[in-house]
Structure 1
Amino acid sequence: MAHTGKLAQANSVVASDETVTFSVPVLALVKAAQQQHGLRHGDYQRYHQYVSRKLRRMRKSLHFQQGNRSKVLPKKLTSDMVTDPRFLLLKVFEIERSWAYAMQLKADSNTEFRKRFQMISRLRKAVLRGNQLSELATELPMLDAQTKLELQAYIQWIHGVLAFELQDWMKAKEFLEATQAIYAGLMQTIEEDNRGVYSARVDDILPQIHYCAYNIGDKSAATDLQRMRAQTTTETGGLAELQLDQLLSQARASQAGQVTEVEWLGMTIPVKLEKAKMAILTVKDSDQELLGMDNHNTKLSVYESVLKACVDAIGAVRDEIRAALSTEGAVAAGADKKMAAAVAASSSTDKVSRLQVLYAYLQYLKISKTIERTLLHIKGALSADGLEAAGHVKDGLGTSSFPKPQELSRLYDTLVQNLQELIGLPGAVQEHMGLKALLQAKIVAYRSYRCYYLAFTYIHGKRFAECSALLQRSRRHAEEALQALSPTTASWTDTESAASPGPSCDQLITELTSLITQTEAEDLTCRAVYMLDLSDSGDRPFDTSESENKLSQKVLLDRLDHYVECNAVEKSFTTQPYPFVQLPPHFEPVPVKPIFFDLALNHVNFPSLTEKTSTGTSKGTSGLSGLVRGWLWGSGSGTDEGPSHS
């Protein structure tokens, strides 16, 4: 079993001549079971199933079964039956089973409200079993003082949980403070190695005590909750962080009535939906929380809770808009023309327009917080342990030796997409041209960073031409962004500048100036690495071997603009009689006295003799047809000259 060592400690007894003493570390056993079986991640269902199986095994080993498979026969545990300390653990884990099932139902009651009644019923059963355990403990003289105090603290705690869920703040605060006092007293009496469990238990109870005090009327308790939330880390466990988030959300729900409107870019937006009020309060409180936080993971968890609240509010406003539009369409379709015109001009249309403005504002909040979270991811990636010492980061920028430049390039690409979504928001953003110009300048700035880190992915693959081209493009984008962000060309107001998410203009100008300097250095480094790589591989960076041989045959004066290897230059000293200049020098044309030639006869045209040469040849020939006709019929001349027979 998982708790063999601690159960052995629980089963250990101190024997004497007359009495037997039981020493049971209740809190240590319970916390170990919770951490190992689901509650480290808030999985109450898994823990409830584990406790049920554990109780079945314990009853079987103690021969204290509640009937058989076909029939249930409940047995009451009396002091006479307690001959083993495991009987006390049996009662403790019965309370744990009821509590775990109640917390499981509480998680489901957000969507199914009826489950809250069943949750209260299970907590009442846990309190009833706690009272039975308290009566049993008073009748057992063999329990030592520490075990009695732990059982008393555990029973007080389960009473406080029930009062907390019933919103009986006075009783809940009283029970929880009693539990805290008992555990604080135990911390002073036990060994230092075992104090961690009790200290963690006190830290778990404190948020609930502060929340009870806040509901009673102590307004400073909400600040204490925020401070405790800021101090939570990943080492404290996700369950404490989840409980603090739930308590803070409940505290904000009580403050939601104070939010009636919000100012955005000179507009006053009325806020009536509860989820929208909760989201706005969450954003305001998170700004104060983040200022006092140093832990990177804690900041990310705060951003996650803020974005979750914004998404819920956006969904609620979207549903409200759809309901308003469907209601307006139904009324207009079922009435005559005059009634339809009246409905179109009624307050329903105004409500839809107000909801659309609120929807755009919530979208703006969500995108802004997403941008801030992405910038936090970038800062965390560049500030990792050892990056600065290893030379991977310089002046806040990852160098060409940065291990994962593609991750930073992807993050900056996400920033560009988020800013483009922000520019595309309808309504107030489209009306403020200065804000759009500032967002566009930031897009160009983040594109320069995207090209900068994308270039390093190519240099890791020894694609130096692409790397150099991307570095040059990064420099051009940075110079363009600097020109757009300069105070001389700025067209935005202070209100528009404050509404733009991310760093301020002055901070961005400083970062871009450093980026330009770093880009120039990285480009030179890329070219140098390219030359060294070619030298190591034996390739020639500029000319082939054939063209280099031709160059080596020329004298030095004729090839000053070309690079030739040292071996070829030394070879030319031995193969050429005059390697530096051409001797004798080449002849060059010079101006002298001109020589005249009589070329007029070349341009004289003589008359054509074609007609005279073609006349004689046409009379002397009659062709093949005439020869055949004369042979068959005789010549034409004899016929004409002979006498006629008349």
Structure 2
Amino acid sequence: MDITQFVVSRRDAALLYGDYSTYQAQLGKKLLKARKRLGIATKNRGKYQKKDQFSAQDVGQNRECAHLILLTSERAWANAMSMRAAHTADTKGINSRTRKHIVSRLDKAARLAESLAELLAQPESGATPNDRLESQAYASLIRGAALFENQSWGPSVKSYAIARIVYSALATATASDMYKDLLSETIDPSIRYAAYQLKTPRTVPVATIARNAFPQSEEWMVQQVNELDPRALGQGDAQSHQDTAEENAPKTLTWRSREVKIEDAAIALAWGRVQQAKGQLAEQLASLGDAKLKKVASAYDSILTATQDAVDATKNAIDELRAEGVSQSDSRMQSLQVTRTAVNYEMISWRIGRNRVLTGDRDGAIENYEKLAGKKPNKEPTPAQKRRWEKPRFKAGKLREQVALYDGILQSVESAKELPGVAANEPLSQWLNGITSYFQALKVLAIGRSHDIIGNTVNALALVNHAHELAQQAVPILSQAPQPPAGSPRNIQPTAEDATFFEDFLRKQVLRLRALVHMDNLLKKAEEEYVAQGKRDPLIERLHEYPLGPVDLTNLVEFPPKVAPIPFKPIFLDIAWNYIKYPSFDEPEKPAEEEKPAEPEEKPQKKKGWFGFGR
């Protein structure tokens, strides 16, 4: 039958664009249509007839009968809420006459809801166990609102307890946010306020109050709830573990040498989960080892969720005290303000730690362009991948990601400075200023590297030199602060070792860029001298010189060529020696008559090929 879905969906649709009066008007139209479908609507200008009561058989045969009862109950509830909202702004509050009217309308809505629950409890109605549970929870919710408005705190807590236990069990069984919204927005605040009026300590959790007020005599309801979720009524090992956690929740909170007492149970439980998440984070990071940056950063999700829960619980406790009219000078409010600063600072600290993990080794001071986005390959990158990572556009993409992370870190540090009580704490403010200088230097370094990879060394030198000045301001401040334990997860506090390494690294980078700028100046000077010399010899005659300036491609050779000796290799002279016979100057020259005919000499074999090689 989906009673809760039927009610909540219509409430949300009406309140999205209107108020309770709009919802009441819409319900009147829906009721008329429902009566027409059932054939019980009063005709126009007809005589009014009293409507017959529906039986369990009628509900079993036609679900429209149950919907008609629900719509009638919702219209009475909407009428009461409309009157309550209209008098909320009154300075003197709601007068007794108006309150009686509101209570009467809520009482009518509760009686109709309880009659529907009785009908669905009969076998003839054909209702499922979940339908019975939802109808009982809805009736208890409306009855609790009526008793709450009538300031009957004890019975109101008992009615709300039934609704809370049932909706908690349904939320666990169905994993629906609809039930969770009802618990967080309507039921839990009402139980907490009514319990406060009954002088119940705030250290008692809402879940414990609801379990103690739940009527254990309703055997069928207890059985159905246990089938859905045994933890809802305090049964099962998981619930026993939760009860133990509630008992062992921290009672005090220490921040910056100031200790305050935690009086709210929700804050105590949330702060206990934060302390537990710290230990789990350290163990998880130790087991990950050399894993991907995104996987290491995902380990921070649990502690970020725990700190966010602590922040929400503190904010709700402060809002409740303000609604009760508690002044800012009250000791409870002062303790909550210190708690608020502590839990917010803790959340900001771990958020910064997660961003520091994503920046890489030494907070991004060491260059690493291997992983830009997506999944990192499990095997060793190939030479082609390494060449691809060395391209300027990929380096610029990584640097752009780092600058975005540094911007997020700096914004978080500024948020920490704006927390209550931080500005008045001079040592803490100076320490936060040192952290700001440290991460500003890292951001400026990333921007300077982007200029360096495109060859703009002058701008890169100016930026890196500015980063070095910022790092020099941060090192003394960060070195004097208490250092975290070795191997602890990263948070807002950079270690003195990181700051010293970064300052020394920037000093070396400044020297490197100064050398590059000096070389650029020499090249520019050589280029100016080259231009001042005017016309020079062709390039072919200056191959033994290294061109300091640009090469004049229009003056490669001289044309038309002039007659000039051409250098050649000495090997050509050796070859010529084998073919040329020179006269001997040692022997005297013989007369012509004495000359005898020379005997035919053997013809030497002709050499073939280059240098006598070949066939």
- TM-score scaled by structure 2? 0.48
Larger radius of gyration: 1
